[in-house]
Structure 1
Amino acid sequence: MCKTVEYRYKTEPLSGHTGRHEFAMRNGKFAQRALPIFMLLINIFLSVVVVFLMRHVQNLLDSDVRINLMEIVTQNKDAITSRLMVNIKDLDVISNQITDNLKTSGMTSDGEIDRFLEEYSLQNNKNDIFIADRQGVIRWGNGRTIDISGRRYFRLASEGTANISDKSISRIDGTEVFIISVPLMYEDKVIGTVQHLYSHDAMYRMASPTLFSSQGFMHIINSEGYVILHTDHDGCQGSSDNYYRDLYSSGNREASSQLKDDIQHARSGFMETTIGGRKLFSAYTPIDKAHDWFLITSVPYMTVSPNGNTVINLFYFILLVVVLIFSSSITYFLWYKNRQRANLERIAFVDPITGGNTVNKFVVDAIAAMQSTDETNFFIMKFDIDNFKYINKFYGFEFGDRVLKHIYENVSGKLMPGEVLARISSDHYVALLRDAGEERLKRMLSSIEYEELILYFSAGVYAVTDKTEGINLMLDKACTAAQEIKGTLGRYVAYYTEEFDKANIRNEQLKRAVQQGIENGEFIPFIQPKVNIDTRELVGGEALARWRSPEGKMISPGVFIPMCEQTGMIVDIDMMIYEKVLQFLRAHLDAGIACVPISVNFSRMHLLNEDFLDQIVRKREEYNVPASLIEIELTESAIFDNIDNIYVFTEKMHSHGFSISMDDFGSGYSSLNMLKDVPIDVLKIDKGFLEESKDNSRRNIIFSTIVEMATQLNIRIVVEGVEFIENVELMRNCGCSIAQGFYFARPMPSEDFSDVMKKGSC
């Protein structure tokens, strides 16, 4: 510029130059002043553009989070709805059975129908499943009645709508409960309702999906905003029991109003809130088939976008410095968007222990795999580790987690294309297989080892016959098959068949019959004598539970005892036998007849009840029977499972005058160490010690040593299963004299044992 001025100055007249020079100076000053303004305007423009673009980017990221979160909450809503429908259908089955009975009997008048329902209720109502008549009255066989006509769930069912109640207080035991209620329809009229009562924990397990690892949480609320269920998470600790009120009080007034309006109109939606300084994303949707229930799933912003603020600031810096690298910024944005989606999927679909699939991911992949082909040869296999709790107990949870990961990696490495594997929970796994032949499963599961451990599995397989059946139902059937062989030596896989359905029906019928038998007092004691082998003198007896049906038929203990132990009904049977033994002894004492001690068996389940000892003592005091005539009999395995507190229990029993007997010694754990730690009074040697062996001399040494050891510990010996004279001779040679077995007498009705007791010998 300077050279040009000089040149012009030399060749042009002065006057012309002067005007032009002043103009140029003015232009230069203007340019000096305008450049900062222009740069400021550019900076403002760039800042506006950057802010606009970044807000757009943030909105896109939030929109992506919204879409992904809504997809996941919808999937889990469907899972909850599926579980609830299974339970509603179970009640519909009961309703249909009742109406089928009414149709068969030909009843038509309201009076006949009401009388039939009343009689049916008295016989079948339980504390968890019960029937109400059309007036809302529930009746039990013990004379108790409850009027639920004012309850909302009954009114809805009476109008023909199956529904689930909000959280309420049980009038039976005062606990928090939920109730599923369905109408009982007959000839297109509602004649009553069928209800199933669920505890808070049971409904929580049914209605709470696992999302976002430990960071996310969920609420289930009703249309008025009251919280029905929520996850056990710090984020769920509101100041009240109303979700709207907590949102409003935490400063989220618009979100509270939006949520309330959407829920009033049964709309799904998404909202952003800030609670306690944390930004949260929440998706909500109505739960189908659950009247007036809405699922809200929340996840902290920093969980799904932990580096969001850093990334946004980086974008600001890049765009402010070089606008021309916009294309690379878009590329980075697309990468971050995909990473954010992957982060959401990882939280929902990646198991934190194995690094493999969660059950949610399994459901998605299994459905996709089955829908991708017209072939139908699919199998659902559920398997778990036998006695995994002992691995955690003896090796620690960190070691147990490594075992779980090793199993996942080992099994997944043996899968074929199109097959899927996931860990459900704890040590439970599920797989979708194309080939479930026994040889393949044996190769898949029988060769897994980890360090010094050899792992054993129990697996159940369900062959998919209807791909639209629902993954959860398929898994339930595989679980049923697996349960069939749980704890069975030599069997690791069971295949689901229709026989399982029939067995379940028979088992349910047996449960109802046993419950009815308990209520009717049909269980009676048969007493087997204990005899001195030298004098044949009667020295005691053992009360064994027998079931005499109303028709007088004796039902074998092998039919009902295993089921009663699984369901816990054995506790009621044990106490019934105990009370009848007390009545038997009291009657003979009143008649002046000398009585011998009678041992009564008690299941290990009693040891979990803190009131067990008090119940035993109260019953004895009620009948005023000397404690010396009662022997409390526990199995060896029951003592072993409760070894930490059995010493305190036996000491308390001794303080009340009772004797303690260890039954089946030698049939299970055979831990001699137990005899050191547990002050028992009577040791009942299992009949297995009497059986012939390859080396009877070794058997005799062990037998005699046990007898000698027990004698030195001042423990009385009773030998069970004595059936032959050779057994008696073995006892004589080993120095024990009290026997119980068919050689002397079989278990007999109490009337027959009364004759033996009067006689004093067998």
Structure 2
Amino acid sequence: MQPRTKSVKKIYFDVGLTVLIVVLFAAFFSFQVQKDSRERVLTTLSEISSQSVEVMQKEISRNKTLLINLAVLLGQEETLDPPTLLQKLIPVDKENNFKRMGIVLPDHTSYSTDHKDVVLDDEGYARFASAMEGQTSVTNTVRDLVDGESVTVYSTPLTFADGSRCVLFGTYSTQYYKNLLSVSSFKGAGYSYIIRQNGDCISGSTNLLSQQFSNFYSATAAYSRQNEEKVQRLQEAVQNGEQGVMLFDREDGTQRYLYYQPLEVGDWYLLSVVPSEVIDKSINGTLVPTYLLLLGSVLLFCYLIWRIVAMYRGYRDRVEQLVMVDEVTGQGSFAKFRLDAAALFGGKDRTPYALVCLNVKKFQYINDLYGYDEGNAVLRTVAECIGENIAGGEYAARMQADLFVLLLHCRDVQLLQNRVTELLHKVQARADKRDGDLIYQVRLRAGVYPVQDRTLTLEGMIDRAKLAMDHSRQNASQPCGLYDGALRRQLVRQQELANHFDGALESGQLQLYFQPKYDLQAGSFHGAEALVRWHSPQNGWISPGAFIPVLEQNGGIIDLDRRVFAAVCRQMRRWLDAGLQPGPISVNASQLHLYRLDFVDRYLAVIDRYHLPHDLIQIELTETALFENRDILAQSLGRFRRHGVQILMDDFGSGFSSVGSVCTMPIDAVKIDKSMVDHLVDDEKTRLILKNSLALFRSLGLAVVVEGVEQKDQYDLLHTMQADYIQGYYCARPMPMGQYQACLQKAQGLPVTGQDEIAVV
């Protein structure tokens, strides 16, 4: 019996040991699954919160953009006429679900689409103070001045042609935000609030589990002593603009998970809440197979473990497929890229990296012309090509739309910039399409930020790379921009110029200059090009190459062009009245004018106001502006030409146009860019190209002005080629109005007067 007893004991021992191993393994496995599941569910809560934030911000941004665009449209009216404005606002109000729309006058009078017109007291008028000062704004929750309902008010300045102004506003009930927030999450158990930094509630979802309160902090802190400490930490995080998750108690003894995240609207914050039992139920559901292991037989132990592991891996793979794989490209998602970046910069590896942003130029055209399926195919091609050209330890993902982000090794910045440029060429070569009716070119640009501060947020790194990418637009020969100290200083300098420009314009710091054109065949000056120069009392002369691009970006070039044009017409009228024949003067116009409906009418009105012969005025548009806006050229430029105003193509030869393509342009003359003239003397091909181009333009009846002539050899060659006009330092530099006036007087045998005068724009 002793051997049997020993055998039984051994069996008991083996069974006990097996059970102990199963229990320990199950406990360990349960703990690990619980931890991973909790993190995964909280990540899901974070993503749902981020989606809600994005929805809210897009909706609020859409409403603000709607008001701004509407203000621009209404601002084209001659003067402020409330009845007319209200008639135009009514259909907009109905279509966009405003509670009401209307206008507020400086005298505190308001008019609304629901005819609830009131005279505002000082407190009510304060809601529109920012808009009266020129800023578009959104209020926090306020009481409706008519029925007392809780509302938010969107407002933006509205200025008319005669200078009269008012505020355009649209009012939304807080129920509007409740509808946006009442998106089901966690099978209807989740709910959301929008609060201010001080805890005041702006709106909340209509979920039955949610509670209504005036201040979240005070209401939550009252539930338990532990909540007081948590609320204090939450307040500090909110004040610092942070986002995160916390667990707090409810008055019924249950707990709630709270994810807090800032909205980019005032000091608003989005709170996403889900009961802890929902998360616990999700976690426990995963653990049921583990607990069943304890009741199973030892013979089924291995099989059950295998099944659980297989189920876990399948679940994990499905979640990773949804979260970690981009649905368009099939490559790693931006969420995965974010995790990889966090692990990279949070670890001990100090390998130098650079963050690269890359996007497809005018990608929207591909979607519009060929459909979204073709656009997605382009994005997949870009992603595949990027994936094939990055090494181990490097990461890439599509961030949004056509914007890709990469983390690349960066031991040498110049080598990396060359590498990214080569990558752009490879992607373009593969993505270009020439298949039947599908013919398009894919062009990309990129920005590189060499990571120096690893504590900088990923968003901060991306912003710097995007700045470098946007800056690359100004350099057609280098599609890959680099963020460095020089770029940062340049951006600061550009912002300073933008800040001081309006004051410089009003204080007369911008002066009118003229650069004469020389008629090669007649051997005399014939007209000029009007230019603008900025003389700052603090900084001296500021190059047009420094401030013109800034104005092109912020839209200030529109006002500058109009002022220059009016100053030229005014000065020409004075010359004609004094008996001078100034010849045709050409004035530069930005391509931004082509998008304005009043461009032609406004310019023709100025010419007629000064009773000028139309053939004395010429409009110069760059080669790029003409070739990028063909669809809107025919009508607007055609009207100029029908009224006798000539159109000149400026900077021909600096872009990608061909001589043949010029034939289809509605222009009267071509200005050859200086870049072609620079190599005229020492390059036979350049001479041949220019000679043949001049012959073709001549046969088409187009006059030709050659810019940048600085040497006698260039002059002689152009004279032999029978060019019409030349312009450059060899003939005359740009000069102030008084000096140009003296040139006209000398040429026409008149006494020289006002040689030191200047013309202020």
1:683 partner letter: V
Give CA deviations for 1:14-57 in whole Å, capped at 9, x if unaligned.
xxxxxxxxxxxxxxxxxxxxxxxxxxxxxxxxxxxxxxxxxxxx
Cα distance in 1, alignment partners of residues 212 and 39 from structure 2: 20
Give CA deviations for 1:365-392 in whole Å, capped at 9, x if unaligned.
211232233x433424213257474994
Deviation for aligned residue 1:283: 8.4
Partner of 1:425: 400
2:564 aligned with 1:577, yes or no? yes
Instruction: Give the number of equivalent residue pairs.
Output: 556
Cα separation, partners in 2 of 1:62 and 1:170, compared to 1, 3 Å: farther
Deviation for aligned residue 1:654: 2.1
Deviation for aligned residue 1:625: 2.9
Deviation for aligned residue 1:755: 1.8
2:658 aligned with 1:671, yes or no? yes
Cα distance in 2, alignment partners of residues 499 and 136 from structure 1: 43
Normalised TM-score (structure 1): 0.59
Cα distance in 2, alignment partners of residues 428 and 749 from structure 1: 47
Cα distance in 2, alignment partners of residues 152 and 580 from structure 1: 42
Partner of 1:749: 736
Partner of 2:86: none
Deviation for aligned residue 1:708: 3.7
1:169 equivalent among 150, 155, 162: 155
1:501 equivalent among 478, 488, 492: 488
Q: Pairwise mapping of residues 261-660 of structure 1 onto structure 2 (< 5 A)?
A: 265=220, 285=260, 287=262, 293-295=268-270, 343-373=318-348, 375-384=349-358, 387=361, 389=363, 392=366, 398=373, 401-412=376-387, 415=390, 418-433=393-408, 435-437=410-412, 439=415, 446=422, 448=426, 451=430, 458-485=445-472, 488=475, 496-550=483-537, 553-660=540-647
Q: Is the 8 A contact 2:127 2:139 kept in 1?
A: no
Deviation for aligned residue 1:562: 3.0
Deviation for aligned residue 1:295: 3.0
Cα distance in 1, alignment partners of residues 586 and 718 from structure 2: 21
Give CA deviations for 1:669-718 in whole Å, capped at 9, x if unaligned.
34234433223222223344545558876655544443343333332233
Identity among equivalent pairs (%): 27
1:169 partner letter: S
Cα separation, partners in 2 of 1:506 and 1:81, compared to 1, 3 Å: farther
Partner of 1:740: 727
Cα distance in 1, alignment partners of residues 344 and 57 from structure 2: 20
Cα distance in 2, alignment partners of residues 444 and 736 from structure 1: 43
1:573 partner letter: L
Q: Is the 8 A contact 1:286 1:293 kept in 2?
A: no
Unmatched segments (≥5 aa) in structure 1: 1-60, 84-134, 156-164, 179-203, 229-241, 271-281, 300-307, 316-324
Cα separation, partners in 2 of 1:505 and 1:733, compared to 1, 3 Å: closer
| SS of corresponding position for 1:677 | coil
Cα distance in 1, alignment partners of residues 617 and 141 from structure 2: 49
Q: Is the 8 A contact 1:582 1:623 kept in 2?
A: yes
Q: Pairwise mapping of residues 86-97 of structure 1 onto structure 2 (< 5 A)?
A: none
Cα distance in 2, alignment partners of residues 548 and 137 from structure 1: 41
Q: Is the 8 A contact 2:706 2:726 kept in 1?
A: yes
| SS of corresponding position for 1:170 | strand
Deviation for aligned residue 1:290: 6.8
Q: Pairwise mapping of residues 189-228 of structure 1 onto structure 2 (< 5 A)?
A: 221-222=194-195
2:684 aligned with 1:713, yes or no? no
Normalised TM-score (structure 2): 0.59
Give CA deviations for 1:164-222 in whole Å, capped at 9, x if unaligned.
x96621235656799xxxxxxxxxxxxxxxxxxxxxxxxx9xx99xx99xxxx999845
Deviation for aligned residue 1:601: 0.6
2:56 aligned with 1:69, yes or no? no
Cα distance in 2, alignment partners of residues 708 and 495 from structure 1: 42
2:518 partner letter: V
Cα distance in 1, alignment partners of residues 541 and 38 from structure 2: 70
Q: Is the 8 A contact 2:536 2:542 kept in 1?
A: yes
Q: Is the 8 A contact 1:461 1:495 kept in 2?
A: yes
Deviation for aligned residue 1:526: 0.9
Cα distance in 2, alignment partners of residues 716 and 487 from structure 1: 29
User: Which has more radius of gyration?
Assistant: 1
Q: Is the 8 A contact 1:464 1:474 kept in 2?
A: yes
Deviation for aligned residue 1:590: 3.0
Cα distance in 2, alignment partners of residues 433 and 400 from structure 1: 26
Q: Is the 8 A contact 1:404 1:427 kept in 2?
A: yes
1:381 partner letter: L
Cα distance in 1, alignment partners of residues 570 and 129 from structure 2: 30
Deviation for aligned residue 1:749: 0.8
Partner of 2:295: none
Q: Is the 8 A contact 1:376 1:464 kept in 2?
A: no
Give CA deviations for 1:418-439 in whole Å, capped at 9, x if unaligned.
5432222344322334554455
RMSD: 5.5
Cα distance in 1, alignment partners of residues 134 and 734 from structure 2: 47
Cα distance in 2, alignment partners of residues 546 and 398 from structure 1: 49
Unmatched segments (≥5 aa) in structure 2: 1-35, 59-124, 143-150, 160-166, 172-176, 221-230, 235-244, 248-256, 275-281, 290-298, 433-440, 750-761
Cα distance in 2, alignment partners of residues 357 and 70 from structure 1: 21
Cα distance in 1, alignment partners of residues 199 and 728 from structure 2: 67
Cα separation, partners in 2 of 1:627 and 1:421, compared to 1, 3 Å: same
Cα distance in 2, alignment partners of residues 218 and 521 from structure 1: 58
Q: Is the 8 A contact 2:337 2:395 kept in 1?
A: yes
2:338 partner letter: V
Cα distance in 2, alignment partners of residues 259 and 344 from structure 1: 36
Cα separation, partners in 2 of 1:617 and 1:474, compared to 1, 3 Å: same
Q: Is the 8 A contact 1:376 1:467 kept in 2?
A: no
| SS of corresponding position for 2:667 | coil
2:506 partner letter: E
1:577 partner letter: V
1:740 partner letter: Q
Cα distance in 1, alignment partners of residues 699 and 661 from structure 2: 15
Deviation for aligned residue 1:647: 1.6
More displaced 10-residue stretch of structure 1: 362-371 or 410-419: 410-419
Cα separation, partners in 2 of 1:219 and 1:361, compared to 1, 3 Å: farther
Cα distance in 1, alignment partners of residues 641 and 417 from structure 2: 53
Cα distance in 2, alignment partners of residues 748 and 686 from structure 1: 20
